[in-house]
Amino acid sequence: MSHEYRLREQICTLARSMFDRGLTGGSTGNISARTEDGGLLVSPTGTSFGRLDPARLSRFDAKGKLISGDPPTKEMPLHTAFYDTRSTAGAVVHLHSCHSVAWSLMPEVDEDNFLPPFTPYAIMKLGRVKLLPYYRPGDPAMGDAVRGLAGKRSAVMLANHGPVVAGKDIEAACNAIEELEDTARLAILMRGYDARMLTEAQITDLVTQFDVEWDT
């Protein structure tokens, strides 16, 4: 069994898992991963995470040319911006997850540090998450905004739209974006309460111990 065959199956299995648990619905969301030859496998436009076909994933070569499969998601500028600016990026996932979108609408959200420090895991898996302004879906300006971060963030939140996360591989990217959604859900649940969050000393300890990218 080839590496690419296994990767195609893994993309569809993880996407289906997220769909089945309500992390993105209908034909929303998109997902991509690096192949061994430097190309990309990408979810096609208009497809559902619950019904991706491994054989029909959009296949790009190392030069960015579509060589097989269906036409790719219109959010390709988002994906390529992460790959072009983060040498460690092996996969990118974008969801329309409910709680993270809801938290992006709240007036008290910190644009430079989208997620409150409730648990260590979001810090360890995501670092600081940047809240980007609203863009029309498919607008290449979203990719420009990611490029403007110069590779310093592994995750962004598109206001009124959804999170985008880059990881070292497809499993890491999916785990991280689920952590983002879980933390946003906590933020909604705790809104209005005087919650005890992690202290600056505890955050610094996590950043140091787990070599977290913690751009300020």
What gap in Å lies between CA 18 and CA 113, rounded to an integer?
Answer: 25
Q: Please, are residues 204 and 214 in contact by the beta-carbon 8 Å criterion? A: no
For residue 146, pLDDT beyond 70 = yes
Task: Tell me, yes or no, if 135 is annotated catalytic.
Answer: no
Q: What percent of the chain has pLDDT over 90?
A: 97
User: Cα–chain-centroid distance for residue 213?
Assistant: 16
- Among the options 83, 108, 111, 121, which is catalytic? 121
**Single-letter amino acid code for the residue at 82:** F
Q: Please, are residues 78 and 44 in contact by the beta-carbon 8 Å criterion? A: no
* 134 token code pair: 């609203």
Mean pLDDT across 199-204 = 96
Arch. (CATH architecture) of 3-209: 3-Layer(aba) Sandwich (3.40)
Residue 216 is predicted with a pLDDT of 59
pLDDT (tens digit per residue) in 104-115: 999 999 999 999
Residue 215 is predicted with a pLDDT of 72
- Among the options 75, 178, 179, 181, which is catalytic? 75
pLDDT (tens digit per residue) in 31-81: 999 999 999 999 999 999 999 999 999 999 999 999 999 999 999 999 999
Task: Tell me, yes or no, if 181 is annotated catalytic.
Answer: no
* 182 token code pair: 């879980």
CA atoms within 13 A on the CB side of 181: 23
**CA quadruple 88, 92, 96, 98: dihedral sign:** negative
pLDDT (tens digit per residue) in 3-21: 999 999 999 999 999 999 9
Domain borders along the chain are 3-209
What gap in Å lies between CA 181 and CA 121, rounded to an integer?
Answer: 12
